[in-house]
Structure 1
Amino acid sequence: METKNLQRIALSTYFFMSGLCFASWASRIPTIKDAFGLNDAQLGTMLLVMPISALLGTVASGWLVSKFDSRDPLLISFLLFALSLTGVSHVNTTFLLVISLAAFSIFMRVLNIAMNAQSITLQKTFNKNIIGSFHGVWSFGGVVGVLFSTLMVKAEVSMEIHLTIISSITIIGSLLAYQYSLKDDKSKTGNKLIFGKPDTFILYLGLLIFFASICEGGMFDWSGIYFKDVVKEDVFTYGYLLFMICMAVSRFFVDKLLDKLGMPTMYILSSILISIGILSAVLFPQFWTALIGFCLVGIGVSSIFPMTYMLAGKSQKYSPGMAISIVGTYSIVGMFVGPPLIGYLSHAFGLQKAFLIIMFCGLMFIPISQLFFKNLKQE
């Protein structure tokens, strides 16, 4: 097998495990909420720990991609990521939960930037688009994570055993994939952050990622709560599961759709699907209508991150790793604002009304993407 294909398989393994771990954590949020007796506002405050910590991960990853090849930081961050996931499930005080979530978030940020930097470098060795498929694999890992979580919830298996199993799989997979990960991928230029007038190319991409992060973060962190408290479904992972399945399947078609429709049209289509999906779930909070609505949201958000990271890799000012690191900062701000804001709005007005913030953020893809492509033509 060609080296580049082995490298693609190894990188896909990392994307899969990242999705697996994140979905396993997110699907257990209702369990954590009940275990610690948190209301929606308190849960929203707890979720603030992750984006705040991720800022530290972004600073670290920006420095790492400028100094080293990405494969060693990728492996080390994955191993620590898996261990911190185990820590989340074994703590019994709020303080220790905060520490575990902070570590989980820091290492997740480092590995995400390292993975995406590798994907852009590997893309250059292929004659067809492959970046969308990596994000599809991430979502597929998420689907497997939610499916496994659903089985664990139905079988009443403890969260400690559940997350320890996931962590063990991740550690083994990380070590196996390491030998085939990309080597010598450190860029020789564009590795320094340049202060001064904001680069409009990066700014518009950052805003797209910002609103995408609010949409995805809101669905990741609150879809289980929505099905449990609003839809009144005992197996609360169903909505999150279908959302992840639709996002995963759609991402495997992103590369082909981009060739046929183009990015400007894809951003508009994504915006419309997200808006219709959220409205369906909010106006008709019954099982099937909410399920279909979450499905449409999953399809809608599926292409935003792959498209935007593809564009970031084409920056003339920064290396792929540094461009993704900068754009990723906007993602963190989105995660900082979105899930906690939904928690506070839910506490004040109810979760149904709070979910409308996701629809608003989805609509923002249209004006921002149009401004980006207009500005791109003028340069």
Structure 2
Amino acid sequence: MNQPLNPRQIHLWRIAIYIIFALPGFAIASWVSRTPTIRDALGATTAQMGWIIFGLAVGSIIGLLSASHLIAHKGGRYVMMTGMAVSSIGLIVVGIGGAWVTNGVTVFLGLAVFGYGNGICDVAMNVEGTAVERAARKSILTGFHAAFSVGTLLGAMAGSAAIKIGISVPVHMALAVAVIALIIPYVYRLVPAGTGKETGGDSIEPPMSARERMAVWKERRTVLIGIIVLGMAFAEGSANDWLPLVMVDGYEVTPAMGSFAFGLFVAAMTIGRAAGGMLLNRFGRVIVLRASALFAIAGLLIVIFGQSYEVAIIGVALWGIGAAFGFPVGLSAAGDDPRGVAARVGAVSTAGYLAFLVGPPILGIIGESVGLLRALIVVLIAVAIAGLLSQAAKPISKNQ
């Protein structure tokens, strides 16, 4: 962005980023809500399903690692739109592989493509989000992540309805992609070109070199924030990938009830993130992160050791509230310095996705031996570590 934006342009930009954040959430929930159906169609064990889901991790991490360089050369808008188009293709492949071809390798490859698109889009939209924060001079990144949760909630609701109505997985995925394809052209024109592009336009300092962008991985503050996001993203990612199956297998309920639990988790996260700006302005990042860790720990304990579905549902809600803040607050902290924001946001996002995506497949392997409910103890430990390191997210300047 070489020219200043007027208030109306900033407002429209902000609306566009809200919508863009919602779309990946909708797409991810479309996949997650059908995991029990796809698992049954493939005849996969818990461990085998974990390895299939690993395709999502592989694609996402490749996307996250390449995102900062893509943004530096092409800008955030280009990378966001490209990411959504690529992830849509992956979602179609997942639907075909999970129902018509019924081949685990096809689903794995579809998830890898889906993950790559989501990975580059994730970094780009968070770079855009921090840029909107600076332009609007407000703390609103948690609000953008609330929009992601709203999209996820809508996707979960649509998935639950699709199961009840009897819509096949491929048709469901095709409908989800159609929704995304209809919205992308509208939001594209509202987003300024060049956000995050390393031309020196957003800063009086010279743009970062490729070597400097890689060097952010050695910064102590960035590493600690990455660990915080890693632990809290594990709590979120585990629910996104496994919660329906945790409830179906652990409490012997129907797939629809498992999808309802996932929807409740997302609703709780959405409420937490919607209130995030107000809470952060009043209490600050450190206190909010510590409180969210305590909520997540309490919720996980109830889910793990609950004696009934009704009791576990209470834990799911607390888990969702606790998981609401780690990812957006960590990314906001990573974006404190506008110079090199894409590199730091990319580094922290990658650290988070190591848990968000690689963690759940590992959880599946552990769950094969001890059950998915007991496997969640690993998530609980990760959240506790994140809570202990919350001080690292303290703002580096008074205006953040």
Assess if the C-alpha contact under 8 Å between 2:295 and 2:318 holds in 1: yes
> Which residue does the alignment assign to 2:355?
334
> Which residue does the alignment assign to 2:59?
53
Residues 118 and 374 (structure 1 numbering): CA distance in 2 closer, same or farther, change over 3 Å? closer
* Structure 1 residues 123-202: aligned runs within 5 Å: 123-185=133-195, 186-187=197-198, 188=200, 189-190=207-208, 192=210, 193-195=213-215, 198-202=218-222
Query: In the aligned structure 1, how far is the partner of 2:293 from the partner of 2:346?
Result: 25
> Which residue does the alignment assign to 1:320?
341
| 1:254 maps onto 2:272 in alignment | no
Name the stretch that deviates more: 145-154 or 70-79. 70-79
* Structure 1 residues 170-249: aligned runs within 5 Å: 170-185=180-195, 186-187=197-198, 188=200, 189-190=207-208, 192=210, 193-195=213-215, 198-234=218-254, 235=256, 236-249=258-271
Q: Deviations over 1:201-243 (max 9, x none)?
A: 1100111111122111111111000111111221120110100
Assess if the C-alpha contact under 8 Å between 1:118 and 1:182 holds in 2: no
Shift of 1:336: 4.6
Residues 308 and 288 (structure 1 numbering): CA distance in 2 closer, same or farther, change over 3 Å? same
Query: In the aligned structure 2, how far is the partner of 1:24 from the partner of 1:211?
Result: 24
Shift of 1:27: 1.3
Assess if the C-alpha contact under 8 Å between 1:65 and 1:322 holds in 2: no
Query: In the aligned structure 1, how far is the partner of 2:126 from the partner of 2:246?
Result: 31
Query: In the aligned structure 2, how far is the partner of 1:4 from the partner of 1:280?
Result: 43
Query: In the aligned structure 2, how far is the partner of 1:370 from the partner of 1:9?
Result: 32
Question: Identity of aligned pairs, percent?
Answer: 22
Name the stretch that deviates more: 188-197 or 77-86. 188-197
Shift of 1:90: 0.9
Assess if the C-alpha contact under 8 Å between 1:75 and 1:175 holds in 2: no
Shift of 1:376: 9.6
Assess if the C-alpha contact under 8 Å between 1:140 and 1:245 holds in 2: yes
Query: In the aligned structure 1, how far is the partner of 2:251 from the partner of 2:122?
Result: 33
3-state SS of paired residue (2:135): coil
Assess if the C-alpha contact under 8 Å between 1:210 and 1:332 holds in 2: yes
Residues 144 and 298 (structure 1 numbering): CA distance in 2 closer, same or farther, change over 3 Å? same
* Pairs aligned (count): 376
Query: In the aligned structure 2, how far is the partner of 1:197 from the partner of 1:96?
Result: 34
3-state SS of paired residue (1:48): helix
Shift of 1:308: 0.6
Residue ranges of structure 1 left out of the alignment (5+ in a row): none
Query: In the aligned structure 2, how far is the partner of 1:44 from the partner of 1:23?
Result: 17
Assess if the C-alpha contact under 8 Å between 2:302 and 2:315 holds in 1: yes
Could you tell me which amino acid in structure 1 is paired with residue 329 of structure 2?
A: M
> Which residue does the alignment assign to 2:385?
364
Q: 2:48 aligns with which of 29, 38, 42?
A: 42
Q: Deviations over 1:269-306 (max 9, x none)?
A: 01110111011111114122111101001100111111
3-state SS of paired residue (2:190): coil
Query: In the aligned structure 2, how far is the partner of 1:309 from the partner of 1:346?
Result: 30
CA RMSD in angstroms, aligned pairs only: 2.0
Residues 152 and 315 (structure 1 numbering): CA distance in 2 closer, same or farther, change over 3 Å? same
Could you tell me which amino acid in structure 1 is paired with residue 187 of structure 2?
A: A
Could you tell me which amino acid in structure 2 is paired with residue 198 of structure 1?
A: K
Q: Deviations over 1:4-30 (max 9, x none)?
A: 111111111111111100111111111
Query: In the aligned structure 1, how far is the partner of 2:42 from the partner of 2:301?
Result: 31
TM-score (norm 2): 0.90
> Which residue does the alignment assign to 2:95?
89
> Which residue does the alignment assign to 2:203?
none
Shift of 1:195: 3.9
Query: In the aligned structure 1, how far is the partner of 2:215 from the partner of 2:19?
Result: 36
Query: In the aligned structure 2, how far is the partner of 1:315 from the partner of 1:276?
Result: 34
Q: 2:290 aligns with which of 268, 280, 299?
A: 268
> Which residue does the alignment assign to 1:117?
127
Assess if the C-alpha contact under 8 Å between 1:213 and 1:338 holds in 2: no
Assess if the C-alpha contact under 8 Å between 2:225 and 2:393 holds in 1: yes
Assess if the C-alpha contact under 8 Å between 1:65 and 1:191 holds in 2: no
